[in-house]
A and B are shown apart, each in its own frame.
Chain A
């Protein structure tokens, strides 16, 4: 990775500190929610440093014996934290949460808290643009063929849910009627059962039809004309499907 984009003051401070201390024998840990770019940031500053995961205790112990400079990811998963010796080593760790704060406090000279994407709106915009470009490229969709201004972004799991929400949105808006039919076919094939399935699954068609119609034409009267059904029938269906 050539650059690590951030407009967050906190992350800029963290980068500055890593650069200041990268020649010193100090141990640092970067703590923050999953999928907020901790590993990418550390890799950006220490591109050639050996990297091991805290999931594998044996590997970490071996690497600590072999190297003076080491990246340990998923540090919270390491079970022998209290037996580690970081003396005169440059250890850079990442963790999804603090775990035992006393041990962390004792091991690391520098303890950084990396803010989540919700706290970094500029960074989120940048990552959103990156994911969008990537999705358009992979799905071979032209930018001008799709409305990209109001993608409902999901930041509940940071970049992971953000990426999923962008891909899902773009996939959904790029589908034609055959794709939709195929999706429905696969879904029904999987789920159809019981003795009232016709009524039960009719909503898959009726609900979006009425919702989109109401949004597009405004009034029930107009929509009933467009759909070619009785106004009372339409009202009944709106009530049946709990459409607001």
Chain B
């Protein structure tokens, strides 16, 4: 029996990449294409080389890899000849929150207004140079406005000592979030700087969860993945 496994690999949720011995990509599946928005091919090639088995074959290693909102708990690296090496990354399972969040308080909102008002509030207290790149045509979507304002205030306050603040608001293409078993597009608000204060991260994550928002914290960086609920 001759089975073509390529389409199974292509549509597998785990990223799979096949490199040649120069680090050039020979093949990548659909899940990897999104991942390459957040990590360079060199970084993944170097990981593949570092965790490759000593002899021909396949080796699975447990390690934690974080790329923006993606986290992986282990990888399998394998090669059957000297020309090609493959890497497969396994997603960390998402912890499902048991508590159901009431979306009745969510009202259609122009997020740009809330963002502008919060930046203006921040600027009454701080002088940091601030750049905003936003999508003004983003249609209104549902939010708990007061709660989201509190979240924005706390997120911005964590940048009060930063030398510069770059804010970007955009609709992420090709990524979704599951809310009540339905796929919702993601609007991402990310803020970058040279440094930020992480004292309120726990509180920020809690406030975000009340709005079904996923938070990504890094040095000098916060991203909020906001479900586009209409």
The chain A residues found within 8 Å of chain B, CB to CB, are 9-10, 13-14, 16-17, 20-21, 24-27, 86-88, 105-106, 108-113
A16 CA to B145 CA in the complex, in Å? 18
The answer to whether A86 and B124 touch (CB under 8 A), given A21-B113, A109-B153, is no
A25 CA to B146 CA in the complex, in Å? 6
The answer to whether A109 and B146 touch (CB under 8 A), given A21-B117, A25-B107, is yes
Tell me, yes or no, whether B209 is within 8 Å of chain A by CB: no
Interface residues of B in 27-66 (CB under 8 A from A): none
The answer to whether A24 and B121 touch (CB under 8 A), given A87-B105, A88-B105, A88-B107, is no
Contacts of A27 in B (CB 8 A): 146
Contacts of A9 in B (CB 8 A): 124
Tell me if A110 and B117 are in contact (CB < 8 A): yes
Tell me if A113 and B124 are in contact (CB < 8 A): yes
Contacts of B69 in A (CB 8 A): none
A63 CA to B120 CA in the complex, in Å? 30
Q: How far is the CB of A19 from chain B (nearest CB, A)?
A: 9
Sorted nearest first, the 10 A-B pairs with minimum C-beta distance are A109-B149, A20-B117, A109-B146, A13-B124, A17-B117, A26-B146, A10-B124, A25-B145, A24-B145, A26-B149
Contacts of B146 in A (CB 8 A): 25-27, 86-88, 108-109
Chain A residue with Cβ nearest B112? A20
Q: Which of A26, A106, A111 contacts B145 (CB 8 A)?
A: A26
Tell me if A13 and B114 are in contact (CB < 8 A): no
Q: How far is the CB of B171 from chain A (nearest CB, A)?
A: 21
Tell me, yes or no, whether B219 is within 8 Å of chain A by CB: no
The chain B residues found within 8 Å of chain A, CB to CB, are 105, 107, 109, 113-114, 116-118, 120-121, 123-125, 145-150, 153
Q: Which of B107, B116, B153 contacts A111 (CB 8 A)?
A: B153
Task: Give chain A's interface secondary structure class.
Answer: mixed
Contacts of B109 in A (CB 8 A): 24
Tell me if B153 and A110 are in contact (CB < 8 A): yes
The answer to whether A13 and B120 touch (CB under 8 A), given A24-B114, A87-B105, is yes
A27 CA to B117 CA in the complex, in Å? 13
Chain A residue with Cβ nearest B113? A20
Contacts of A17 in B (CB 8 A): 117, 120-121
The answer to whether A112 and B105 touch (CB under 8 A), given A20-B116, A25-B146, is no
Q: Which of A25, A105, A112 contacts B121 (CB 8 A)?
A: A112
A14 CA to B148 CA in the complex, in Å? 19
Contacts of A109 in B (CB 8 A): 145-150, 153
Chain B residue with Cβ nearest A86? B146
A20 CA to B113 CA in the complex, in Å? 6
Chain A residue with Cβ nearest B154? A105
Q: Which of B105, B118, B120 contacts A16 (CB 8 A)?
A: B120
Contacts of B145 in A (CB 8 A): 24-26, 109
Contacts of B113 in A (CB 8 A): 20-21, 24
A109 CA to B113 CA in the complex, in Å? 13
Contacts of A24 in B (CB 8 A): 109, 113-114, 145
A20 CA to B107 CA in the complex, in Å? 16
Given pairs A20-B116, A26-B149, A110-B121, 19 additional interface contacts (CB within 8 A) = A9-B124, A17-B117, A17-B121, A21-B113, A21-B149, A24-B114, A25-B145, A26-B114, A27-B146, A86-B146, A87-B105, A87-B146, A105-B150, A109-B148, A109-B150, A110-B117, A110-B149, A110-B153, A113-B124
A105 CA to B206 CA in the complex, in Å? 14
